[in-house]
C-alpha cells in the first residue's frame, strides 16, 4: 500500500484535525521511560511519543472496557447503542494483533453490539515498535514488531521524518482530506525503515534467545500441560490468583454479566472476569470443574494456545509481555512454554 | 436505522402460574411479550429483576412457545429468589441459546432417555418433541431416578408416557422408602438389562455431574460407543453467546456448541465431570 511522508510539525497539525473531530488517545512517555496511553487535547499534542514499545495499559480496554453497561430493565426494548468517535494512536503490531483476535470473538456469528459500535467509530493508527521491552516476545509467537496490514494508518519514524503507510480506505480518506500535509515517501526512506525494522526483529529475538521457544505450541500444550513432569516444575505454585495477568492481557476476554439495583429499575453490566478465580467456575451446589489452582492455571494456557487455535485460528497471545511484568509471583509465560517444549524433546 | 440486537438485554415475561413439583422443585409457566420459539434442549437465561440470571432449559413442548415452562430446583441465590415468586410477577428472559438435541439424527432409531432428579426437566421438552412424531422413532425408552419418591418430577405424567405406543418408562429411587413399591437403586441399575438394539440406538442423559459420569461409564460398559451418547452438561454460564468464556468444556462452548454434547467430542477433556 501507499506510503507517505511528513514531518513532526505537520503531523501535529494532522492530529489537531483529528482532535477536532473526536477523541484522541495517544502514547506519551513518563519520567521513567514507561509508555502510556492518554487522552490528549489540542494543546498537548507535542507530548505524543511515536515509536518506542507497547504501552503499559492493555489495548483491549478501548473496545472491551472494564465495565460496560449493557442493559437497563425492565424496559420494553433494548436501549440504543452509541459510541464516541475515537482515534487510537500508538498501538504496536502486538496491540493490533490483539484487536484482530478480539474482533473474531466479539464479532463472529453473534455480534456484541457494544464492541462493534466502538470498533466502527474508531480509527487505528499504529506505530512500528523501535525499542522493545525485556518482556517482549512477539517474534516467538510468530509475529513481527511492525504491522503489515489491518491498521488504518501506520507510522514509522526515519531520520526525523515520519512515514505514514495507508492500510485501509478509511486511512486513505483521512490523509486525502489533509493532503497538503503529506508527500510521497522516497525510496531511501523506505530502505531506512526496512533496516530499522530488521534491527528490531533481531533485538526481540536476542531478548528471547535464552528461552528457546518457537511456534507452534498447540501440540505440546495439549500433550504436556497435564503431564506430571510439567507439574513437577512447580511453575504455577507462586501464583496467588490475583488475576493481574488476565486483566492486563490484551486478548483475555472473559467477563461476567452483573445485575444491580438502580433506583426502581435494574442495570446489567459486563465486567471483566478472571478464569483464575474459583468463583468463575462455580456452579450450583458449589460444584466446580476446576477445583485446584493448577486446573485453572492450565486453563489459561489451553485457552490461549490450544482452544483459540481451534476456534479462531489464532494463538491468543501476542507476546506483549504485560502478564510477565504484572505478575507478583514472577511467573514468566515464556518460561512455562519453554518447559513444555523441552518436554517434547526429552519427555521425563 | 436497523435495530441492533443486544444479546444481553432481558425481555420481560410474566409468571402465569407456579406449579409445585416436589418440595424443592417448581415449574414456572411464563408468557413473554412475543412467543419465543425454541428447540428441545436449547436453554434460556432467566433473570430475577435486580438480582441476576441463571441458565435453565425449558421443560415444555417447543410446539407451545406461547406458554413456556421452566422447571427449577431451588439451590442458591437466583433459584431461592425465584421460588419466592408468585403468578403475576415479572422476570426477564434471554435466549434461546445453544443447539438443542439433534432430534433428526434419532429418526428411525431407538432413543434411550436417562434422567436424574431435576434433570428430567430439560428431557421433558425432548420427550414432548419425540412424542409429537413418535412414528419417526423405533422406540422411546425412559429411565428415570431420584433420591426419594417425593423428589420425582412430573409424576402425574408417568402413567401416560409409559402407556404411549412406542414408548416405555422405568422409574427408580435411590434407597427404600415407606409406601414405595417400585424399583430401588441408582438409575444406573435400570441400564443393566436393556432390551434395546444397541447398534441402532442413541442415548440422551441429563442430571447431576456424578450421575452423568456413572451413567456414561455404565453405558460404555454395556456396549454403547461414545458417539451414541449425548450428555446435557453443566457449567457456570454468563453470556450464553460464546463470548464470556465461562462455559468452556475443552475447546467447546457449552452455550453455543451444547449444552448437550456428544460424548465422543468431550471424552478427553480433563475434569469433564468435575
Ligand atoms: C444449560 C443449563 C441448563 C440448566 N437447566 C436447568 C433446569 O432446567 N432446571 C434447574 O433447576 N437447573 C438448571 N440448570 C442449573 C441452574 O442453572 C443452576 O442451578 C443455577 O444457575 C443456580 O443458580 P443460583 O443463583 O440459585 O445458585 P448459586 O449457587 O447461588 O449461584 C451463584 C451464581 O452463579 C451463576 N451461575 C451461572 N451459571 C451457573 C450454573 N450452571 N450453576 C450454578 N450457578 C451458575 C448464577 O448466575 C448465580 O447467580 C441448568 C444449567 C445449565 C448450564
Ligand atoms: S498475575 Fe501471576 S499471581 Fe496473578 S493470577 Fe496471573 S499468574 Fe497468578
Ligand atoms: S498472555 Fe501475556 S504476553 Fe500473551 S498477550 Fe496476554 S499479556 Fe501479552
Ligand atoms: S456462557 Fe458465556 S461463553 Fe458460554
Going from N- to C-terminal start, the domains of chain B cover 11-97, 103-232
Whether residue A50 contacts residue A27, with contact meaning beta carbons closer than 8 Å, is answered with yes
**Residue A233 confidence (pLDDT) above 60:** yes
What average pLDDT does the structure give for chain B? 94
Cell matching residue B188 = 444406573
**Locus of grid cell 505454585:** A237
Query: Are the beta carbons of A71 and B238 separated by less than 8 Å?
Result: no
Pinpoint the alpha helices (H) of A20-86.
none
Answer yes or no: is the C-beta of A326 below 6 A from any ligand 3 atom.
no
- Which of A328, A330, A333, A335 is the best mutation target for the ligand 2 pocket, counting ligand atoms within 8 Å of the beta carbon and taking the most? A328
CA distances (Å), origin B164, targets A205, B133, B134: 71, 12, 9
Structural domain boundaries in chain A: 3-208, 218-345
- Which of B249, B255, B258 is the best mutation target for the ligand 4 pocket, counting ligand atoms within 8 Å of the beta carbon and taking the most? B255
Query: Are the beta carbons of B51 and A259 separated by less than 8 Å?
Result: yes
Q: Could you tell me the pTM of the whole model?
A: 0.94
> Residue A228: pLDDT band by 50, 70, 90 thresholds?
confident
Nearest to B244 among A78, A254, A307 (CB): A254
**Centre of ligand 3 from the C-alpha of residue A58, in Å:** 10
pLDDT at position B264 is 97
Report the pLDDT averaged over residues A160-180.
96
> Residue B270: pLDDT band by 50, 70, 90 thresholds?
confident
**Residue B63 confidence (pLDDT) above 70:** yes
Question: Is residue A108 within a helix (H) or strand (E), and if so which, with residue range?
Answer: none
Whether residue B232 contacts residue B257, with contact meaning beta carbons closer than 8 Å, is answered with no
Report the pLDDT averaged over residues A140-154.
97
Residue B150's CB is within 10 A of a number of other CB atoms, namely 14
Query: Which pLDDT tens digit goes with each residue over A77-91?
Result: 888 899 999 999 999
Report the pLDDT averaged over residues A191-213.
96
Report the pLDDT averaged over residues B57-76.
96
Query: Are the beta carbons of B239 and A257 separated by less than 8 Å?
Result: yes
Which one of 3.40.190.10, 3.40.50.80, 3.40.47.10, 3.40.30.10 gives the CATH number of domain B103-232? Answer: 3.40.50.80
**ipTM confidence score:** 0.93
A261 near B CB under 8 A: yes
DSSP classification of residue A111? B
- Burial, A303: exposed, middle or buried (Cβ in 10 Å; 0-12, 13-18, 19+)? buried
**Residue B1 confidence (pLDDT) above 60:** no
A209 vs B193, residue with greater confidence: A209
pLDDT at position A94 is 97
DSSP symbols for A138-184: GGGGT--SS--SS-SEEEEEETTEEEEEE-SHHHHHHHHHTGGG-EE
pLDDT at position B2 is 42
Which one of 3.30.465.10, 3.40.50.300, 3.30.930.10, 2.40.30.10 gives the CATH number of domain B11-97? Answer: 2.40.30.10
Q: Whose CA is nearest to atom 3 of ligand 2?
A: A239
Smallest CA–CA separation between A56 and chain B, in Å?
24
Amino acid at each position: 500500500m501507499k506510503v507517505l511522508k511528513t514531518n513532526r510539525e505537520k503531523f501535529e497539525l494532522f492530529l489537531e484535525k483529528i482532535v477536532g473531530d473526536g477523541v484522541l488517545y495517544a502514547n506519551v512517555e513518563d519520567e521513567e521511560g514507561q509508555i502510556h496511553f492518554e487522552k490528549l487535547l489540542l494543546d498537548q499534542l507535542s507530548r505524543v511519543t511515536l515509536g518506542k514499545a507497547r504501552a503499559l495499559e492493555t489495548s483491549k480496554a478501548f473496545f472491551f472496557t472494564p465495565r460496560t453497561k449493557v442493559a437497563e430493565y425492565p424496559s420494553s426494548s433494548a436501549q440504543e447503542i452509541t459510541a464516541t468517535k475515537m482515534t487510537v494512536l500508538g498501538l504496536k503490531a502486538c496491540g493490533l494483533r490483539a484487536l484482530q483476535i478480539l474482533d473474531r470473538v466479539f464479532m463472529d456469528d453473534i455480534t456484541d453490539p457494544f464492541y462493534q459500535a466502538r470498533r466502527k467509530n474508531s480509527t487505528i493508527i499504529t506505530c512500528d515498535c523501535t525499542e522493545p521491552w525485556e518482556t517482549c516476545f512477539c517474534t516467538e509467537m510468530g509475529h513481527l514488531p511492525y504491522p503489515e496490514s489491518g491498521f488504518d494508518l501506520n507510522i514509522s519514524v526515519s531520520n526525523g521524518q515520519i512515514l505514514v503507510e495507508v492500510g485501509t480506505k478509511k486511512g486513505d480518506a483521512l490523509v486525502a482530506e489533509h493532503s497538503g500535509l503529506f508527500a510521497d515517501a522516497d525510496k531511501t526512506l523506505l530502505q531506512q525503515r526496512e533496516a530499522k525494522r530488521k534491527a528490531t526483529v533481531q533485538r526481540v529475538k536476542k531478548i528471547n534467545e535464552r528461552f528457546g521457544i518457537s511456534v507452534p505450541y498447540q501440540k505440546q500444550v495439549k500433550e504436556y500441560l497435564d503431564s506430571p513432569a510439567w507439574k513437577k516444575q512447580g511453575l504455577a505454585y507462586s501464583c496467588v490468583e490475583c488475576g493481574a495477568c488476565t486483566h492486563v492481557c490484551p486478548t483475555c476476554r472473559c467477563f461476567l454479566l452483573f445485575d444491580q439495583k438502580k433506583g426502581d429499575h435494574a442495570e446489567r453490566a459486563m465486567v471483566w472476569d478472571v478464569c483464575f478465580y474459583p468463583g468463575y467456575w462455580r456452579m450450583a451446589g458449589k460444584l466446580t470443574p476446576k477445583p485446584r489452582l493448577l486446573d485453572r492455571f492450565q486453563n489459561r494456557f489451553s485457552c490461549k494456545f490450544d482452544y483459540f487455535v481451534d476456534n479462531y485460528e489464532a494463538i491468543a497471545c501476542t507476546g506483549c509481555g504485560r502478564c510477565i511484568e504484572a505478575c507478583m509471583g514472577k511467573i514468566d509465560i515464556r518460561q512455562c512454554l519453554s518447559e513444555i517444549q523441552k518436554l517434547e524433546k526429552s519427555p521425563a | 436505522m436497523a435495530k441492533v440486537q443486544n444479546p444481553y438485554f432481558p425481555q420481560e415475561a410474566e409468571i402465569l402460574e407456579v406449579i409445585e413439583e416436589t418440595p424443592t422443585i417448581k415449574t414456572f409457566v411464563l408468557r413473554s411479550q412475543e412467543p419465543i420459539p425454541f428447540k428441545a434442549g436449547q436453554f434460556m437465561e432467566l433473570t430475577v429483576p435486580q438480582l441476576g440470571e441463571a441458565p435453565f432449559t425449558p421443560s415444555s413442548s417447543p410446539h407451545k412457545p406461547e406458554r413456556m415452562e421452566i422447571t427449577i430446583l431451588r439451590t442458591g441465590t437466583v433459584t431461592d429468589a425465584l421460588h419466592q415468586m408468585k403468578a403475576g410477577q415479572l422476570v426477564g428472559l434471554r435466549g434461546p441459546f445453544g443447539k438443542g438435541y439433534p432430534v433428526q439424527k434419532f429418526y428411525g432409531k431407538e432413543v434411550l432417555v436417562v434422567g436424574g432428579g431435576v434433570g428430567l426437566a430439560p428431557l421433558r421438552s425432548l420427550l414432548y418433541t419425540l412424542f409429537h412424531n413418535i412414528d419417526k422413532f423405533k422406540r422411546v425408552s425412559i429411565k428415570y431416578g431420584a433420591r426419594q419418591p417425593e423428589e420425582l418430577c412430573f409424576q402425574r405424567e408417568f402413567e401416560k408416557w409409559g402407556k404411549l405406543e412406542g414408548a416405555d418408562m422405568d422409574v427408580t429411587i435411590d434407597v427404600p422408602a415407606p409406601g414405595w413399591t417400585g424399583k430401588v437403586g441408582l438409575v444406573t441399575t435400570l441400564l443393566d438389562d436393556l432390551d434395546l438394539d444397541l447398534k441402532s440406538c442413541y442415548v440422551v442423559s441429563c442430571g447431576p455431574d456424578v450421575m452423568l459420569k456413572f451413567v456414561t461409564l455404565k453405558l460404555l460398559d454395556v456396549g454403547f460407543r461414545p458417539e451414541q451418547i449425548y450428555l446435557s452438561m453443566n457449567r457456570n454460564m454468563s453470556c450464553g453467546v460464546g463470548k464470556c468464556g465461562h462455559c468452556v468444556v475443552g475447546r467447546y462452548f457449552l452455550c453455543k456448541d451444547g449444552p448437550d454434547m456428544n460424548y465422543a467430542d468431550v471424552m478427553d477433556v480433563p475434569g469433564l465431570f468435575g
